[in-house]
Amino acid sequence: MEFTPKILALVCTYCTYTAADMAGSARMQYPATVRIIKYLCTGRIDIIHILKAFEAGADAVMVSGCEAGSCHFLEGNLRARERVEYAQKLLEEIGLGGRLEMFEVAASDAPKWVAAVKEKTQRVETLGPSPLRRGKHLHPDVVEQLENMVQS
């Protein structure tokens, strides 16, 4: 059966989101495997959000924020990196290793965003579907729960 990965990207609005928006406006070609969830800063991403993304059926999760030294909240991206590293260990333990990764994409770097999505998609294609995946699509109710967590 053909496998089309579903990736949830938890991104910072100042940098990665702007780059992704620019990539879309410039009609850069990249796989339609990613759904973006926008944060004010990656420092607001909690481990529970990452776990929720997997519960929604994501085959992989990307966390992407400002480059080192460029976070608008000074150290938000550093806190995010610590949480991602901790979550990676947890995921390894429960059989979801290799599915979570952190990226840094500056607002002006749409090509880097495109490359990150392609790279992540290829890696997930190799891993195959998440054992938590339910059907072809992300679970809309769980994605909505995650979006509500982001806004609260």
CB nearer ligand FES, residue 14 or residue 30: 14
Q: Is 107 exposed, middle or buried (0-12, 13-18, 19+ CB in 10 A)?
A: buried
Helix, strand, or coil here: 11?
Answer: strand
Is 5 a binding residue for ligand FES by CB under 6 A? The answer is no
Least gap, CB of 13 to ligand FES (angstroms) = 7
Q: Is 19 in the site for ligand FES (CB under 6 A)?
A: no
Q: Indicate which single residue of 42, 88, 121, 130 sits in contact with ligand FES (rule: CB under 6 A).
A: 42
Q: Is 11 in the site for ligand FES (CB under 6 A)?
A: no
Which segment (41-49, 114-122, 134-142, 144-152) binds ligand FES by CB under 6 A? 41-49
Work out whether 41 is an interface residue with ligand FES (CB under 6 A): yes
* Residues 19 and 72: beta-carbon distance below 8 Å: no
User: Helix, strand, coil proportions of the chain in percent (round to 5)?
Assistant: 45, 15, 40
18 lies in the site for ligand FES, by CB under 6 A: no
Q: Does 79 bind ligand FES (CB under 6 A)?
A: no
Residues in contact with ligand FES, total (CB under 6 A)?
A: 13
The amino acid present at 126, given as its one-letter code, is T
Please state, in angstroms and as integers, the Cα–Cα distance from residue 134 to each residue in 62, 94, 138, following that order.
19, 17, 7
Q: Is residue 33 within 8 Å of 4, Cβ to Cβ?
A: yes
Which residues contact ligand FES (rule: CB under 6 A)?
12, 14-15, 41-43, 65-66, 71-73, 76-77
